[in-house]
A = this chain, B = another copy of it.
Amino acid sequence: MPKTNPGRFFEDFRLGDRLVHATPRTVTTGDAALYTALYGTRFVVQSSDAFAKHIGYPKSPVDDLLVFHIVFGKTVADVSLNAVANLGYAGCRFLSPVYPGDTLSTVSEVIGLKENSNRKTGVVYVRSVGTNQHGDEVLDYVRWVMVRKRDEAAPAPPEHVPALPKALEPDQLGDACPLIDPEAWDTALSGQRHRLSDYVAGEGIDHVDGMTVEEAEHMMATRLYQNTAKVHFNQYTEGQGRFGRRLIYGGHVISIARALSFNGLANCFQIAAINGGRHVAPLFAGDTVFAWSQILAVEELPGRDDVGALRIRTVATKDRPCAEYPLKAGDDYDPAVILDLDYWALIPR
């Protein structure tokens, strides 16, 4: 019986399996400082305790994506150590605010299994729930990954593909945001004067700036999240692999794009949900990331007068500025596109 974790193969998963993941993690202001150093994020609620208190928070919450990355990181050792590809996310909701000092844990349930026709791999669907030390759910999402089989001859489990929402509905948003006082929201301090009603469905925003990524940065980020996926850290092995390079964690790209989006979406202070996301192409150290967004919907939230939600599609590229909103080239993605993300962000009314 080996003492090291070889990771689960496709035939090791059973529908309904409940996976309690190691390692619970207390999030601190140290993590928040690193998050700022890694991405340069400037969203005011997460940056200033004074501002956060002034609008109704007890203090600055932890950045939503930092919560996502930490909750996600724990699942890697049990779900995707033998993954060939991370296929998608759906139904990701932020359910409670997380503050420095809170401890995050993750439990996943296997909600779908489907062997591929080549019998070498299969798709595993898991619903992962992050909770804090009080047992409050802070994050809930589904992801599906293609996982290798240990043995091609192993019998396939019964096929079950779960129904997944294409997008969250407005009435499912906002649980992680306490009631705030939108009158107390100072747009000089937040960096932009536009509120919910200043955005229009369909409008595009070029986030202008570019950010070059270094190996040390993405590895520090991914380790901070205790994400152990081998492809991000091991040049000896990856140098002999498909790309000859360490692959950058897809979540690192999401965080860069989100930080860049401050320029145009400064008041979108909280990610309420991620409807879906696709890592269209890999990012490597030395590449420069740009981003643009399209507003997909502008919605009020049932029962709330303080904040509304923008549904946003954010597209990130590498080595390609986004003034022309690059997206498709014929039926395929433009070769510069690396991320196509669909999410809901809260913004004061």
Residues of B close to A206: CB separation below 8 A: 4
What string of 1s and 0s marks CB contacts (under 8 Å) between A233-266 and chain B? Answer: 1111100000000100000000000000001111
Any chain B CB within 8 A of the CB of A86? no
Contact B24 A51 (CB under 8 A): yes
A26-B50, A29-B30 are known contacts. Are A228 and B214 too (CB-CB below 8 A)? no
Distance in angstroms between the alpha carbons of A214 and B221 in the assembled complex: 14
A28-B32, A40-B226 are known contacts. Are A4 and B47 too (CB-CB below 8 A)? no
Any chain B CB within 8 A of the CB of A68? no
Interface set, chain A 37-92, CB cutoff 8 A to B:
37-40, 42-44, 47-51, 60, 77
Distance in angstroms between the alpha carbons of A42 and B228 in the assembled complex: 10
Residues of B close to A290: CB separation below 8 A: 236
Any chain B CB within 8 A of the CB of A191? yes
Max chain B C-beta neighbours (<10 A), residue from A37, A48, A101, A207: A37
Residues of B close to A103: CB separation below 8 A: 48-51
Contact A224 B43 (CB under 8 A): no
Contact B22 A50 (CB under 8 A): no
The interface size of chain A toward B, counting residues with CB under 8 Å, comes to 80
Contact B49 A23 (CB under 8 A): no
Any chain B CB within 8 A of the CB of A96? no
Any chain B CB within 8 A of the CB of A3? yes
Contact B192 A3 (CB under 8 A): yes
Helix, strand, loop or mixed for chain A's interface?
mixed
Contact of A42 (CB < 8 Å), options: B23, B217, B237: B23
Contact B215 A234 (CB under 8 A): no
What string of 1s and 0s marks CB contacts (under 8 Å) between A191-232 and chain B? Answer: 110100011000001111111101111011111101010100
Contact B25 A48 (CB under 8 A): yes
Residues of B close to A208: CB separation below 8 A: 4
Interface set, chain A 7-40, CB cutoff 8 A to B:
20-26, 28-34, 36-40
* Residues in chain A within 8 A of chain B (CB atoms): 3-5, 20-26, 28-34, 36-40, 42-44, 47-51, 60, 77, 101, 103, 105, 133, 188-192, 194, 198-199, 205-212, 214-217, 219-224, 226, 228, 230, 233-237, 246, 263-266, 286, 288, 290, 319, 321
The 7 closest A-B pairs by CB, nearest first: A30-B33, A22-B191, A40-B223, A236-B288, A30-B30, A216-B216, A24-B48
Q: List 18 A-B contacts (CB under 8 A).
A: A3-B194, A5-B192, A22-B189, A23-B44, A23-B191, A24-B48, A26-B50, A28-B32, A29-B29, A30-B33, A39-B223, A48-B105, A209-B230, A211-B233, A211-B234, A212-B215, A235-B286, A235-B288
